[in-house]
Amino acid sequence: CTSMVTTFDLDGQLFMALNGGPHFTPNPSISFYVVFSDQDELTRIWDVLIDGGKTLIKLDKYDWSEQYGWLQDRYNINWQFTLGDSAEVGQTVVPMMMFCGNSQNKAKPAMDFYTHLFPNSETVSEARYAHGQAQVDATIVHARMRLNGNLIMAMDSGVKQPFNFNEGVSFVIDCDTQDEIDYYWNKFTEKGEESMCGWCKDQFGVSWQIVPRILGALMTDPDKAPRVAKELFKMKKLDIDKLKSA
């Protein structure tokens, strides 16, 4: 028996892994940025993740870091490692959005959209490309935003990329009420796209899952789970009352 959904915690950051088939492969448009204070720990974890994977940017000394590298692991998940002050960042694993392809040079408008959409949100820092530094239209070389307490990084790619955001990596919003689900769903799909089972894309192509917080409990109830799943697969935007009464 193979698990369809697995959740796990990486030093306080919750992840959900889905066996979704070969349709959507993760790519470097969304990576996970980790700041290490200890060189040995950085090297140890790099060596584990690079086994079966590939190097996108060599682990080495650069102008912006004593040690930095970008790899894609055996599962096509992308990681950026850098040596620095992990306490200053305040979050061990930070999602990084790279705006490229169809969303080239849209990091700044996306950050404005997200920080106005989510409560308790702000742009933390923003660094821009110097004139002539990028090979394509690009504004943000590195930025941080806090979305309802969660740190997320963003950048515009400095070169043309052969990929776009896709469903291979998405963000999950747990909602307590139907009003919350309606709010996020309507905001994202106003200029984005609806999909099935609570999935949607925003206007920048980033995928979101907007789900009721109670869904996990419903799907692990052996009596209710088959009926809940049957209702779930009929829905685009999720309806809490229909799922609870299934």
**How much is the pLDDT for 231?**
93
Please enumerate in sequence order all residues whose Cβ is within 8 A of that of 78, keeping only pairs 6 or more positions apart, or say none.
26, 27, 28, 30, 31, 32, 56, 70, 71, 72
Q: Write the pLDDT tens digit of every residue in 18-62.
A: 887 778 899 999 999 999 999 999 999 999 999 999 999 999 999
Is domain 24-156 in CATH 3.30.720.110, yes or no?
A: yes
| Helix, strand counts (H, E) of the chain | 7, 14
pLDDT digits (tens, 9 = 90+) for 202-231: 999 999 999 999 998 888 888 888 999 999
Q: For position 1, what pLDDT does the model report?
A: 47
Identify the CATH number of the domain defined by range 170-244. 3.10.180.10
Question: If we measure between CA atoms, which residue out of 68, 72, 89, 78 comes closest to residue 32?
Answer: 78
Q: What ranges do the domains of the chain cover?
A: 24-156, 170-244
Task: Kindly report the average pLDDT of the chain as a whole number.
Answer: 95
